[in-house]
Amino acid sequence: MSEVARQDALEAVATLLAWVENELGGELSDDVRRRTPERVVAALSELLGGYQTPPEEPVRYQPEQRTPVVLDEIGFAALCEHHLLPFVGTVAVEYLPGAGVLGLSAIVREVERHAHRLQLQERLTSDIATGIARLARARLVRVTVRAEHSCLAIRGVRREGVIVTTQALAGREAASPSALAELERGRPPR
């Protein structure tokens, strides 16, 4: 981030804090809060670092067997673009290899790359599926995202524990019922 952009971001946070103090009656003058703009800008730079993370050229292995590859319970946290509040959950990735299998860390890094952007859960799910299909040159990828959204839990309807589930398919055989059946047959029992 350029120094000009960083300074603008710091001033924007300071303006927001001034609004909280002046309009909502918050008491924000203590020493700890004085550095809040710096902390907020640093946190957002970290949480939204996915914009600056290019897709990698992953390690691919040529497997003897072409059975489905499944990674469950990949934890993530993202910021919702509607309220700038976090949603936190897990991602399950299943894919039918095409031109080999990916190194497992490449899949986790692809989840992180997309989660560290302002997101909607539906788009996050689709972005991960499309990214893994491209990286793996996969026949079929299915991504399932399950998350709890702070905007439901702490504001508005205030319902904790609501889990939103989204799913996306990608890959060159994404429209193939036989490929989907093959993925289903290869999925380990839970």
pLDDT value at residue 56: 75
Q: Which of 62, 127, 123, 136 is nearest to 94 (CA)?
A: 136
Q: Which fold does the domain 59-186 belong to in CATH?
A: GTP Cyclohydrolase I, domain 2 (3.30.1130)
1 to each of 4, 50, 53, 84, how far by Cα in Å? 8, 14, 14, 20
State the residue for tokens 């380990």. 188
The neighbour count for residue 76, using CB atoms within 10 Å, is: 20
pLDDT value at residue 1: 66
The neighbour count for residue 160, using CB atoms within 10 Å, is: 9
pLDDT tens over the chain, length 190 residues: 688 899 999 999 988 888 888 888 777 666 657 888 999 999 999 999 988 888 777 777 776 657 899 999 999 999 999 999 999 999 999 999 987 788 899 999 999 999 999 999 999 999 999 999 999 889 999 999 999 999 999 998 999 999 999 999 999 999 999 999 888 887 766 6
In the chain, where the domains are located: 3-47, 59-186
pLDDT value at residue 11: 92
Contact 129, 141 (CB under 8 A): yes
pTM attached to this predicted model: 0.86
